[in-house]
Amino acid sequence: MANASRLPCLFHSDQLTFKPRYEWAFGEKIDHPETTARAEMILAAIEAAPDVYELRRPDELPEATLATLHDERLITMLKAARQLRRAYTFYPAVFMRGENIVPDATNIHHAGSFCFDSGTPLSRETWSAARWSASCAVSAAALVKAGDHPVAYALSRPPGHHATRSLFGGYCYLGNSALAAKHLAGERAKVAVIDIDVHHGNGTQGLFWNDPRVLTISLHGDPKTFFPFFTGFASEIGGADARGFNLNVPLEEKTDGQAYERALDLHVFPRVADFAPDFLVVAAGVDTYERDPMGDFNLTTEDLHRIGERIGALGYPTVVVQEGGYYTPHIGRNVTAVLTGLSTGSAHARAQR
């Protein structure tokens, strides 16, 4: 039976066609952490509770919407990769840039000019998967914006928060969370993004660097020693037109649930309350998990539930966009922990009004 209160979860099967097999991680060839199994495990957890979640297909995002945040040359390069031969994966290895360099976005050999790391390869399936992934985020945003649902979830994969206006990297090709925020902001709404992935959301930060209508907040491993290294410092507070509208909360290695909640209470929640957004986007990586192979935090599944609940209790209509999370055996339960926490917190906040 249709239940209007079920939490909509957006996903498209073409997101599973992109299968990077390995990455070059600081000179080492490792199995690629951003697997299709991640999405399949999350799907399985969602499908196991059909009275709680409702799986939906997103509407396909027009390219013009992508162009509101991304450089058209990045889009051209991702599309150029559609010409790669079957079962071949291209790893950018020449990262030419500078004065007299004129990158050709239609030439795959110039992909290094549109990319910032060696872990984010291209294949003929990348564009379709990335576009559907972004479509999930924007369709989830549309449901929340319409007021039909207090919370919606985009099972976005590949992830998005590292992608900048003109660069892919960090397993990300298009700024999914940013596109959701942009859609919610529309002409006049205020949107706060809280990025709980263990890595700094450098892409989201950069895309709204000069936009005071989107407050970007990220809690993450200290970039002094942790990916993406170049960004995520507390000193980054926003551009000239939006000073104070970016907040970075770098946290130390082995951060546990208690320390994480303290950071939320001390730095994040007061800033969000002061900003008074109309909508919230949660860039929900679960690579803060204690067993995550990429992260170095120590959160438990219960901590993730609690963090979701605390954020839900803020009472804002919320779009949750999947980011990282690489301990595949537990990714389903970790994602649903965040989602049930958010739903519980949000229901509680609404009952209080």
Q: Could you tell me which stretch among 92-100, 203-211, 256-264, 279-287 binds Zn ion (CB under 5 A)? A: 279-287
Out of Zn ion, ligand SP5, none, which partner does residue 62 contact, by CB within 5 to 8 A per kind?
none
Q: Is 110 part of the annotated catalytic residue set?
A: no
Nearer to ligand SP5 (CB atom), residue 105 or residue 294: 294
Does residue 145 touch Zn ion according to CB under 5 A?
no
Q: Whole-number minimum distance, CB 67 to Zn ion, in Å?
A: 26
Does residue 296 touch Zn ion according to CB under 5 A?
no
DSSP class of residue 90 equals B
CA distance 327 to 101: 40
Asked if 32 contacts 55 with a C-beta cutoff of 8 angstroms, the reply is no
Nearer to Zn ion (CB atom), residue 129 or residue 144: 129
For Zn ion, the binding residues in 169-198 under the rule CB under 5 A are 197
Question: Active site residue: 12, 32, 149, 162, which one?
Answer: 162
Residue nearest to ligand SP5 (CB): 324
Asked if 253 contacts 224 with a C-beta cutoff of 8 angstroms, the reply is no
- Other beta carbons within 10 angstroms of residue 308's beta carbon come to 28
Out of Zn ion, ligand SP5, none, which partner does residue 170 contact, by CB within 5 to 8 A per kind?
ligand SP5
Which of 23, 117, 287, 296 is the binder for Zn ion (CB under 5 A)? 287
Which of 58, 285, 315, 345 is the binder for Zn ion (CB under 5 A)? 285
- State both tokens at 300: 């438990």
Nearer to ligand SP5 (CB atom), residue 171 or residue 327: 171
Q: Whole-number minimum distance, CB 176 to ligand SP5, in Å?
A: 10
Q: 221 CB contacts (<8 Å, ≥6 apart)? A: 198, 199, 200, 227, 232, 250, 251, 253, 295, 296, 297
Torsions phi, psi of 294, nearest 5?
A: -100, -35
The DSSP annotation for 138-169 comes to HHHHHHHHTTS-SEEEE--SS--TT--SS-BB
CA distance 149 to 246: 27
Which residues are catalytic, by number? 162
Q: Which residues bind Zn ion (CB under 5 A)?
A: 197, 199, 285, 287, 324
